[in-house]
């Protein structure tokens, strides 16, 4: 299968693209590569890449592909809040336009990287894919609206699929520390403190990025009638944990650390639990391989191997909002988050 992966140079994409290659697929990436300065650890297996803003995709970019895996986006709530209208341009309008172009070009399958943020403030009930949406951020709303509009494009020749990923964790060549397990583990490793920025009560479903990548591969290779225009929560149902419980697991994994609440720590209104059984039930070949304890151990080993420092952790290199603000200040990006000048390869 010939697959276009947008966002192939990001946190998940740098893991997904090589895994697709290992499975024998022909893979091309499409990415503006905003995070070329942000590589963590050793180099990784790269694929041929179209260096382009997702807002500028043309029919020629998608012609000849069997499938599109669409990950490119402003990747979290803080970044989405930087300019809500830009978030809609990039995460919503460009995603729908990409689907329209792909459909017109004869692409058969369109796998959208959605998010459990669609559920937003949903309390303590366990949510299936049929649960109502209640997004509380521009990022969450962008995912809801994209699912709605792309779903309407489904027909006998164009098959969209929506993967609602739980909060990701795990080691990647484009590592992020603005994710709960990665963040708490980095605090513990670099300071001996597990710094809690909320009161620890919110529920979070979390999932390893390799399991997200496996979910993409599973739905790409599945029979059409099993996945056509379907949404799937991606994660492990057992790994719906309160943030304080995630912190406790980090404390049991990383030596000589303790939990500490940040000044002004309060409840986070983002609170949801999700049932993730539909995907492995529909496609039994997909079974998550990771859990939070294994993930904490992997992160600890990677931080040790590469000598992660507090300066790196707190700096803009691995914090998406911090890095974007740095590029804006340097004039590398303009106010529309478009590259205003060229940078050399990382």
Secondary structure in 3-state letters for 161-177: EEEEECEEECCCCCCCC
Tens digits of per-residue pLDDT, 277-303?
999 999 999 999 999 999 999 999 999
Length of the chain in terms of residues written: 346
- For the cut 90, the answer to whether the pLDDT of residue 270 exceeds it is no
Range with the lowest mean pLDDT among 47-56, 63-72, 195-204, 332-341? Answer: 195-204
- The dihedrals phi and psi of 58, each to the nearest 5 degrees, come to -120, 160
Q: What is the DSSP letter of 270?
A: -
Q: How many CA atoms lie within 13 A of 44 on its CB side?
A: 26
Helices 180-191 + 243-253 axis angle, to 10: 40
Q: Which of 331, 330, 343, 326 is nearest to 82 (CA)?
A: 326
Helix (H) or strand (E) holding 262: strand 258-266
Total-model pTM:
0.94
At 25 the pLDDT is 98
Query: Which of 26-40, 71-85, 241-255, 258-272 bottoms out in mean pLDDT, i.e. has the lowest?
Result: 258-272
In 3-state terms the chain splits into helix, strand, coil percentages (rounded to 5) of 40, 20, 40
Segment 35-62, tens digit of pLDDT: 999 999 877 889 999 999 999 999 999 9
């Amino acid at each position: 299968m010939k697959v276009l992966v947008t966002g192939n140079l990001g946190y998940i994409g740098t893991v997904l693209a090589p895994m697709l290659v290992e499975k024998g697929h022909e893979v091309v990436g499409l990415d503006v590569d905003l995070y070329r300065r942000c590589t963590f650890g050793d180099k990784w297996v790269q694929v041929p890449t179209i260096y382009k803003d997702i807002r500028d995709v043309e029919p020629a970019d998608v012609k000849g592909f069997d499938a599109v895996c669409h990950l490119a986006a402003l990747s979290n709530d803080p970044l989405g809040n930087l300019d809500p209208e830009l978030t809609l341009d990039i995460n919503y309008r460009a995603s729908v336009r990409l689907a329209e172009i792909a459909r017109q070009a004869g692409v058969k399958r369109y796998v959208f990287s959605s998010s459990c943020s669609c559920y937003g403030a949903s309390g303590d009930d366990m949510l299936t894919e049929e649960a109502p949406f209640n997004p509380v951020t521009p990022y969450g709303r962008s995912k809801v609206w994209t699912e709605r509009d792309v779903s309407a494009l489904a027909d006998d020749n164009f098959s969209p699929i929506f993967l609602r990923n739980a909060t990701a964790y795990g080691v990647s060549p484009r590592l992020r520390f603005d994710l709960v397990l990665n963040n708490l583990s980095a605090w513990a490793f670099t300071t001996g403190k597990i710094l809690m920025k909320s009161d620890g009560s919110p529920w979070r479903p979390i999932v390893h990025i390799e399991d997200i990548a496996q979910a993409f591969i599973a739905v790409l290779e599945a029979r059409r009638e099993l996945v056509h225009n379907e949404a799937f929560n991606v994660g492990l149902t057992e790994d719906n944990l309160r943030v304080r419980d995630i912190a406790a697991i980090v404390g049991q994994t990383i030596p000589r650390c303790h939990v500490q609440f940040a000044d002004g720590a309060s409840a986070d209104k983002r609170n949801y639990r999700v049932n993730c059984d539909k995907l492995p039930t529909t496609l039994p070949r997909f079974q998550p391989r990771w859990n939070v304890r294994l993930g904490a151990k992997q992160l600890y080993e990677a931080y040790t191997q590469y000598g992660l420092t507090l300066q790196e952790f707190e700096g803009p290199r691995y914090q998406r909002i911090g890095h974007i603000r740095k590029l804006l200040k340097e004039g590398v990006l303009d106010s529309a988050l478009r590259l205003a000048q060229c940078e050399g390869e990382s």
